Amino acid sequence: MADASLTWLGHASFRLDSPGGKRIYIDPWLENPKCPDAEKEPEHCDVIALTHGHDDHVGATIELSKKFGPLPIVAMVELKAWLKENGAQTDDIPGSNKGGTVEAAGVKFTLTHAFHSGGTPDGSYGGEAAGIVVELENGTKVYFAGDTCVFGDMQLIRKIYAPDVAVLPIGGHFTMDPREAAVACELIGAKRVVPCHYGTFPLLAGTPDELRQLAKGVEVVAVDPGGSVEL
Ligand SMILES: [Zn+2]
């Protein structure tokens, strides 16, 4: 199997290339101010996974599903229904909910808890916000916390899924800042942490250096938008 990589597209958007050659977009807001031009028009997409319905996370989901679909879309049941009503080209499988695991293109996705508000871009109910544990074909597990504050039950994510890599928001204001993210690192227990949801605009002021100072014993793997982390 090929190496897997996680490419940051700015904000909370990621391209995940699996060892089995699948290309997964997580929260593809490709119009975000930090998304590199070369990433704004994807060449290929096998799966889209969404943490919640806010427009800085749904992003280009509907457009990508029309271009490459019908595509599996992993999202909360209400959010997936909203996407279909709004033209997304996807399968007939209902969206899932927290605690359930679904398989798409040979990769496993589990929605987990998150503390954040919900809603879709047009103000409809889009289900609760979630995190996502992605288990790749080779068993590597990546936990995307989504937008959330730190919460004690992150230790259950460690106990049940033991993620190899955790992707955490650190910008503050709408999500955890570095102080909360440092505690999240302890609770989750992943050896490597990829920060996101910072630097998109001045309001999201947390930095990877602040997290490094606070989260001892954790490798904080910060890349510039367009940069990749080998998994
Ligand atoms: Zn957000």
The rounded mean pLDDT for the chain is: 97
On the question of pLDDT at 179 being above 90, the answer is yes
Report yes or no on 229 lying in a domain: no
Q: How far apart are CA 95 and CA 4, in angstroms?
A: 26
Residue 147 vs residues 12, 115, 129, 168: alpha-carbon distances, Å: 9, 7, 7, 8
Give the pLDDT confidence score for residue 2 in this predicted structure.
66
Q: How far apart are CA 12 and CA 30, in angstroms?
A: 10
- Dihedral (CA of 217, 219, 141, 93) sign: positive
CA geometry: angle at 111 spanning 106 and 112, to 5°? 140
Ligand 1 centroid vs 13 CA: distance in angstroms? 10
Report yes or no on 230 lying in a domain: no
Residue 7 vs residues 70, 76, 90: alpha-carbon distances, Å: 23, 24, 24
Give the pLDDT confidence score for residue 205 in this predicted structure.
97
Q: What is the mean pLDDT of residues 176-197?
A: 98
Give me the residues near ligand 1 (ion), CB cutoff below 5 Å: 56, 147
On the question of pLDDT at 1 being above 80, the answer is no
On the question of pLDDT at 99 being above 70, the answer is yes
Contact call for residues 74 and 96 (beta carbons, < 8 A) = yes
Q: What is the mean pLDDT of residues 73-84?
A: 98
Give pLDDT tens digits for 121-162: 999 999 999 999 999 999 999 999 999 999 999 999 999 999
Ligand 1 centroid vs 20 CA: distance in angstroms? 29
Ligand 1 centroid vs 38 CA: distance in angstroms? 22
Give the pLDDT confidence score for residue 36 in this predicted structure.
98
Ligand 1 centroid vs 2 CA: distance in angstroms? 31
Bridging pattern class, strands 101-104 and 107-112: antiparallel
Domain extent at residue 80: 5-224
Ligand 1 centroid vs 225 CA: distance in angstroms? 16
Report yes or no on 37 lying in a domain: yes
Report yes or no on 42 lying in a domain: yes
Report yes or no on 124 lying in a domain: yes
Number of domains comprising the chain: 1
Q: Take residue 11 and report the two structure tokens written for it.
A: 């904000």
Report yes or no on 113 lying in a domain: yes
User: At 50, which CATH number?
Assistant: 3.60.15.10
